Structure 1
Amino acid sequence: MSTRDTRPGSAGGVDTPGPLHGGPDDDYTPEQLAAMRREELDLLGARYDGVEVLHVDPGPEPGSRLEQRAVRQVGWTFFLAGVCAFLFLVVYVGSGWFLPEWQWADEGSAWSAMFTPLLGLFMGLSLTLVGVGLVLYTKKLLPHETAVQDKHDGSHFDRVTTGATLVGGYHNSGLPRRKLITRSLGFMGAAVGVMLIAPLGGLIKNPNTGNPLGRTSWAEGIRLVRIDGSPVRPGDQQPGSLETVFPAVPGGNLESDAATMLIRLRPEQVDEDRPREGQADFGYGDYVAYSKICTHAGCPVSLYEQETSRLLCPCHQSQFDVTQGAKPIFGPATRSLPQLPITVDDEGFFVARSDYIEAVGPTYWNRERI
């Protein structure tokens, strides 16, 4: 039977053939382990773990044409992954800056139609190339070893030798001397990292700039037009009638939050009209205008009973009295329909005096009853 030299600075029995027995932490002090080289620790840990190496393929010869070709393939794959991630950022950040502004529309421009597909294409290509590069690197450049090994018991000895094994794996990977791969990895990591972070929470472009939930396209001087784009003037409607109008802006008749009901009251309704406080001058003569979007769940208010002065939402039967500032008098709605202040311009057509002074629709349905 051979004996092992366990003095500090010795190889700790690594140079002694045959199996090792006993508890590792009892056989080696922390000082002895610290004095050993990484290669010695790696080998010692493997022997104590009962590792049986079945096959070893060291990979391509350093500096050979085979290695150089594999390095170029992996490096260019990682580089292209970074380029695709960068193109994703160009599309995402450039919209409205140096690229056309994209917008939702029934018939949008070619750019608007391609905006989301381009984002998906470049992100998908980038992540796919990351995977391809890792597979190529593993198959063509890393040493391949097949071994059988026992489980670790978590001792100090295991922690030290396992650390040496991990560091040895990094050195065996060849990354320290393959500069093309390390540089392309750095570029790819930075680009892919920014690509994955950019869409989260509007970190680059805040979609809520300008309070979009609290305003519409209505503004001072904007004409009220029908869905066909024709303007409306007093006298076009019969008393007791309702007409849906939109702002005379590009795409105005496609903006659901801007849909407005222009109502001409009957003479007896004018006498009963009790507008909300501070909105006595929002109407024009016997005309009033209210948002068409129900304050309960956002359905279009589309039924008008002129005999009862009630606007009816068909979804959940909320009812609003137009002679009381469109106050809800029945159903689940708890907030009045916002009123649009209107007047006429120099040509005699109806125009808005401003936007709605409160948010339209159910976005703010937790406000107190008005």
Structure 2
Amino acid sequence: MNLEKRMRDNMGDHSHGSPDDSGTVAKAGTGTLDKFQDPGLPPHRKRLADTDPHAEKRAERQVALLFIISIIGTLSFFIAYFVLGRPENISEIRVQNAMLGLGTTFAMLGIGIGIVHWAKTLMPDHEISEMRHEITPEADRKDAEEIINQVIEETGIKRRPLIRNTLIGAIALAPIPAIFMFRDLDRTGKNAGEMVEQLRHTMWDKDVRLTRDPSGTPIKPSDVQIGSVFHVIPEGLDEAEDVLNEKAKAVVLLMRLDPDKMHISEGREDWHYQGIVAYSKICTHVGCPVALYEQQTHHLLCPCHQSTFDLTRECKVIFGPAGRALPQLPITVDSNGFLVAQSDFHEPVGPSYWERG
């Protein structure tokens, strides 16, 4: 009995209580909740550059070095773009493309990483909290001016001429490559007639044999089966003065269809040979190589922007951004039974973004 009494004294006697008066059930509205206290801002931890003048100078030099790297990247772009000029072989093209890409990369990364490193090591990093309040238009203008002045002061750009000068140089040079590239696009528009004339003529001509790329082996009609695809170049391409440019214009896809499935327009009745057709491999959108052939649907697909051409309807565009059909190369066979061209393309090959007057 004494043990039972002591337990009731310690825990409370609820043997005859109900949920309403036993005290074991919490009820809403019977008490008040304490509000969460504002913990305030965490204590500010000084960085090494805030306490050590040598570390501050080192960080300043690092930021300036990153901006100088940006300047070097831009200059590398200029060298690749202007000094190397027009590369004549694949090795020079690879070097030029690498310099253009790396130059642009370092030009942008140097500025971006430099600004981030500047902010993390040298700019003030104190956290502040401000109450929101109504601002009149005039006060808003004054506050904006104060904020701008405060930002300039906190960056320390006035008292850090090394960072200021290298940043100005990097920012001044960085947009120039884009300006020259856009200028060249404009030049392409002004010389559209000349560009079209260049693309109107390729190495294809009457009786020029169709050969496999890259072996240069001539092709007979019996070699081309329904569903197969040949990447074709004109015979004698290796002897051309400018092999890469000539190949870029003249490369062709050769395929065979069931003649009953072909929809041939007037004037092209003899452009194929027993269902064997040849079309320019250069997409008429932006010049990517059309290289995917769907045997069941007879569709040619450009992998860059998904322009799709219907082979049964003379490679007319059925999907995608391309503006016109792939140019067709008229073909036949010579006296030795090899596939040959009847003539050059009857229209310019390649993209259609300029006027083709």
TM-score (norm. length: structure 1): 0.48
TM-score (norm. length: structure 2): 0.49
